[in-house]
Amino acid sequence: MDFLITTLLNALTLISILMLVGLGLAISFGLMNVTNLAHGEFVTVGAFAVYFVQSMGGSFWLGLAAAPIAGAVVGCILEFAIIRHLYSRPVSTVLATWGVSLILQQGLELTFGLGAKPVTPPIEGTLDLVFTVYPAYRLILIGIAMLTLLGVILLISRTPFGLDIRTVIQNREMAEGVGINTRRTYAIAFTFGAAIAGLLLMHMAFDSGWTTILLGAAAIVPALTTRWRAYPVLGWISVGAVIAVLGRVAFDPTIVGAGFLSTTPVFNWLLPGYGVPALAFGFAAWQLARTTNGRPRLAMEAAAALFALLTLAMLVRHAMHGGVIDTGAMTLAEQSIYTLIAIGAGAILVAIDMRSPSSVLRYGSMAAGVASVAFIVVRHFVVLNPLLSDESTGRIPVFNLLFLAYLLPAVAAGGLALYARDKRPKWYAQMLAVVAAVLAFAYATLSVRRLFKGEFIGLWSGLGQLETYTYSALWLVIGVALLTAGVWLKSQVLRVASAALIAIAVLKVFIFDMSELEGVLRALSFIGLGAVLIGIGLFYQRLLTRAARENG
């Protein structure tokens, strides 16, 4: 119950932030049809206003009062000097507000310097909410956000100015005809939206993760604008948001700093920090596909896929290292999850590409498949192979590390190979089929090793005679199984793999078993090999006879 209530309160905090963002954007974009790319800088101006007031000895509450005023002043100047001259020129408005955004960013950097600035929260400690305890300051943030929303609703629905706003939204020309000063209404509305953005500093000042989240969400605004004006430049502005978020996560992959990242699995800042941009980029790609299309849409699709994978990978890394993502050696279990994610991503991208064809999805799906194969070859078979590293395979007989690292990827790669047979190049499906077969072979072989050696199966622990014989029998059985599957699926790759494995088994029997085995085991090894070779010969003879009858 404690965890559930805390999660719900965290979600309510997130909703209150997005609500404040949406209020400011709804006023400037919804009323004025102005795509303001400097909206985030109004938030920053408010945050620095609080920092400046506190650094001069003032209280937080005085700074909080100064924040919306600072945002309103900047918004009023921007509207008077630039926006009001560009109402009928949406592309010019986008470019102008982008320029203002850059100017404000660099101006604040030159004035206050780089790095985070300390802002002391006014209320510390927690409140006891019967089932859980929660930071008192966050509860106040939620309350202020709700009061702000209520105030805006009352302003729009119960005041003369609200009536003017609703009239201008419905029909600007008619509003001017009945005597409403639309220019004044626009100016006040834009300034009011900027003030709300300044108020958003309450959250931004103490949760730097919102910077990444809002940067990602900003990609939606230009994409949505293409519903009214299908200018290609808007798509590239969404791509600019992707670049900004990439720079942000490259600088701080923990989103909020390693010292502030919760150790709670899944429900921590990594989930919204990577997940919200992934959803935003996906929505932007979907919207652009229906309006401007072109390369920006492809870039947004690639970004959505990348951040979806990063979300899963970072959450896995976080969970498997106790909340620390920038230290700790890679383990085979962790790598196995990454491999399964890559294979799954390849399958998902193939499925999406079949419904909505895209070169990014096509090549991205193949890139995911190739990456998974590279992971398997380099890490599963060599670097992290428990046969070479002597890593513990776990104490459970079946559901152990070998199951996760070899059998599950074998099933996944085999399934993707079957699914992609008629949807991707022939070499791609064949590559996955071969890897699936080798993984299955490795799982069976290492499982035998574990049966004889226990939890630790390091190569240097030696081989017994019964274990040596078991490998020969197992490899022959697998070879026959691959041959049967190859004939049933009409797969030349599986038949070739079967031939290769049986050839290896033959060499092992004649070279290794002859010198290492004695007595009954040596005899059984040769008898088993002979029986398999006879069976294969009869099997192929039957296939040839059937083919001759069908052709004759």
Q: Tokens representing 68?
A: 């919306």
For residues 309-322, give the mean pLDDT: 86
Q: Which pLDDT does position 207 carry in this prediction?
A: 52
d(CA 54, CA 52): 5
d(CA 69, CA 346): 50
Q: Which residue has the higher pLDDT, 504 or 324?
A: 504
Read off the pTM: 0.59
* Average pLDDT of the chain, as a whole number: 79
- With residue 234 as reference, give the H or E element that holds it: helix 232-251
3-state SS assignment for residue 126: strand
d(CA 24, CA 193): 4
- 29 — pLDDT class (breaks 50, 70, 90): low
Q: Which residues contact 235 (CB under 8 A, 6 or more apart)?
A: 222, 223, 226, 288, 292, 294, 295, 296, 297, 300
For residues 454-474, give the mean pLDDT: 86
Q: Which pLDDT does position 90 carry in this prediction?
A: 67
Is a pLDDT exceeding 70 seen at residue 417?
yes
Is a pLDDT exceeding 70 seen at residue 125?
no
Domain boundaries, the chain: 1-207, 463-552
Convert the pLDDT of each residue in 498-549 to its tens digit: 888 888 888 887 777 776 777 677 777 777 777 777 776 666 566 656 656 6
Q: Which residue has the higher pLDDT, 100 or 291?
A: 291
Is a pLDDT exceeding 60 seen at residue 272?
yes
- Residue 303 is classified by DSSP as H
Q: How many CB atoms lie within 10 A of CB 42?
A: 31
User: Closest Cα partner for 385 from 448, 452, 464, 331?
Assistant: 331
Q: Which residues contact 116 (CB under 8 A, 6 or more apart)?
A: 208
d(CA 214, CA 37): 12
d(CA 483, CA 427): 20
